[in-house]
Amino acid sequence: MMHDVNRISGRLPELQWAVASQPFQGENVSGDMHVVCPFQNGILVGVVDALGHGPEAAFAAKAAVAAIQRYASLPLNSLFQRCHEGLTRTRGVTAALAAISLQDSMLSWVAIGNVEGFVLRAEGTRPPVSIMQHGGVVGYNFPRLARLEPIPLSRGDRLVFATDGIHEGFVDTLTFHDPLPDLVEGIFRRFVKGSDDALVMAAEYVGRGP
């Protein structure tokens, strides 16, 4: 199964990331996609998981990514609302998004649907922090979102996202200091379900300044 895995790595001055993904067996396209979108004094990162698989799922995921990129500078709750309005004629997506403020190294993040997200602290002495999750589907059944409480980020902190094509529980097995490509591929190899599209993304906050 691993020979079909798509691998992507990228870098900005303040952030580096790696992604491993795979469409459902027999499909040429995936409804699971990632997004990295810089905006003024910030970076938006996250993943979307369209319902089902195949071309219609890929269409919904691409529409979601386009809307996310268009409204990346908005507060996350407003961004999700705009994205929902743009996806009502699609099958909808679940998503986890994180907005990093580069001015004060603060993170705001939220998930709609069963997409997992964690922050792994660089010093390795504190347990992973889990993303706030809301039930629902963007484009179909939009939930009432709670007020977001930003959390601080330190240089070297990592964000890890996984769609529901990945078994739960992977966070307990992570080796923090693995290079990002090895980290995502290790999760993928051990926890992919094989019954849906699947994607794992990891991003490390480099921060600003010396």
Q: What's the rounded Cα separation, in Å, for the pair 84 and 160?
A: 24
pTM: 0.94
Q: Which two tokens stand for residue 131?
A: 């993303």
Q: Is residue 131 part of a domain?
A: yes
Q: Is residue 210 part of a domain?
A: no
CATH of residue 141's domain is: 3.60.40.10
What is the span of the domain harbouring residue 16? 2-205
Cα 161 to chain centroid, rounded: 5
Span 111-154, pLDDT tens digits: 999 999 999 998 877 789 999 999 999 999 999 998 899 999 99
Measured in degrees and rounded to the nearest 5, phi and psi for residue 98 equal -135, 130
Q: Is residue 73 part of a domain?
A: yes
CB 71 within 8 A of CB 99: no
pLDDT for res 2: 41
Q: Which two tokens stand for residue 190?
A: 């051990």
Beta strands in the chain (DSSP E): 6-11, 15-22, 32-39, 42-50, 93-101, 106-112, 116-120, 129-130, 133-134, 151-152, 158-162, 198-205
Task: Return the higher-pLDDT residue of 63 and 194.
Answer: 63
Reply yes or no on whether the pLDDT at 55 is more than 70.
Answer: yes
Q: What total of structural domains would you count in the chain?
A: 1
Q: Is residue 45 part of a domain?
A: yes
Q: Is residue 153 part of a domain?
A: yes
Q: Is residue 111 part of a domain?
A: yes
Span 10-50, pLDDT tens digits: 999 999 999 999 999 888 999 999 999 999 999 999 999 99
Q: Which residue from 107, 105, 108, 119 is spatially nearest to 155, judged by alpha carbons?
A: 105
